[in-house]
């Protein structure tokens, strides 16, 4: 890194969180917030025009979500590091990393942890919060599978995640709250899942998912 400050774009749809995050970052002599936005579309536009060093990207924004925005930013501005921020240490971490994110941080992280993460990804490192790291270790301890080996290989990572929650018995509303997505987004995703599974009802999808081993709660 050069001596110039790390230029940061904040993308999050919660004004209070953005305010606190901006105050934390701008208290550091080596960081400057160049812009803040509240949706994925604006994040893509600002990242393309401003070329920040780091984007702090909320996963669960309405419209274009954080993972989709990350895919577009890494395609148009590959030198910009994306640090995902979210309330949940769930499987979205894998979708985020596939999209090109360099780190994944929980919103409950302490200030020093957040600052270390920003500096790390700006320096080309890959970093995870401790909660996410434990989740990933547990995932790989179970053994990895290729997409072809997994049931329903046509499903996208987000669709597979939603199907898993459906198989656990969660309602659309509960899934939306857990994944910090809108109910409309969940309804659309569920409809896509039904089409790919070639089923007409929720119960048929759940049966297929459970027969394939999805929906098993971890101890």
> 219 falls in which pLDDT band (50, 70, 90)?
very low
Would you say the C-alpha torsion 130, 134, 137, 143 has a positive or negative sign? negative
Q: What is the CATH architecture of 6-138?
A: 3-Layer(aba) Sandwich (3.40)
Q: Which two tokens stand for residue 29?
A: 């002599």
Q: Which two tokens stand for residue 126?
A: 């890959």
Q: Give the integer Cα–Cα distance in Å for 175 and 170.
A: 6
pLDDT confidence of residue 60: 81
CATH T-level topology, domain 157-211: Arc Repressor Mutant, subunit A (1.10.10)
- Closest by CA position to 219, among listed 106, 129, 138: 138
Among 51-55, 87-91, 144-148, 189-193, which stretch is predicted with the lowest mean pLDDT?
144-148
Q: For 79-108, write each residue's pLDDT tens digit.
A: 999 999 887 655 677 777 778 889 888 887
Q: Quickly count helices (H) and strands (E) in the chain.
A: 10, 6
- CA 23 to chain CA mean position, Å: 23
Q: For 176-208, write each residue's pLDDT tens digit.
A: 888 878 889 899 999 999 998 999 999 999 998
Among 18-27, 139-148, 199-208, which stretch is predicted with the lowest mean pLDDT?
139-148
Residue spans per domain, the chain: 6-138, 157-211
pLDDT confidence of residue 2: 59
Contact 65, 181 (CB under 8 A): yes
DSSP 85: E
pLDDT confidence of residue 151: 74
In the predicted model, what is the mean pLDDT of residues 209-214? 86
> 147 falls in which pLDDT band (50, 70, 90)?
very low
Could you tell me the pTM of the whole model?
A: 0.63
> 120 falls in which pLDDT band (50, 70, 90)?
very high
pLDDT confidence of residue 152: 83
Contact 110, 84 (CB under 8 A): no
Work out the mean pLDDT of the chain and round it to a whole number: 85
Among 36-50, 64-78, 131-145, which stretch is predicted with the lowest mean pLDDT?
131-145
pLDDT tops 90 at residue 42: yes
Contact 50, 7 (CB under 8 A): yes
Give start and end residues of each alpha helix (H) in 57-181.
Answer: 66-76, 92-99, 111-122, 130-141, 157-167, 172-179
């Amino acid at each position: 890194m050069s001596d110039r400050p790390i230029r940061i774009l904040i993308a999050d749809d919660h004004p209070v969180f953005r305010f606190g995050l901006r105050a934390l970052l701008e208290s550091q002599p080596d960081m400057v917030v160049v812009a803040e936005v509240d949706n994925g579309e604006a994040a893509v536009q600002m990242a393309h025009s401003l070329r920040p060093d780091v984007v702090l990207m909320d996963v669960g924004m309405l419209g274009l979500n954080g993972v989709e925005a990350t895919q577009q930013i890494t395609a148009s501005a590959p030198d910009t590091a994306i640090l995902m921020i979210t309330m949940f240490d769930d499987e979205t971490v894998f979708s985020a990393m596939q999209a090109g994110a360099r780190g994944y941080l929980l919103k409950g992280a302490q200030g020093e942890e957040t600052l270390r993460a920003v500096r790390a990804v700006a320096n080309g490192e890959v970093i995870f919060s401790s909660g996410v790291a434990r989740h990933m270790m547990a995932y790989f301890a179970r053994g990895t599978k290729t997409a072809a080996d997994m049931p329903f290989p046509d499903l996208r990572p987000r669709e597979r995640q939603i199907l898993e929650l459906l198989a656990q018995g969660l309602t659309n509303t509960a899934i939306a709250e857990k994944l910090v997505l809108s109910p409309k987004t969940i309804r659309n995703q569920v409809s896509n899942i039904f089409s790919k599974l070639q089923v007409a009802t929720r119960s048929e999808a759940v049966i297929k998912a459970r027969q394939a081993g999805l929906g098993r709660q971890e101890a």
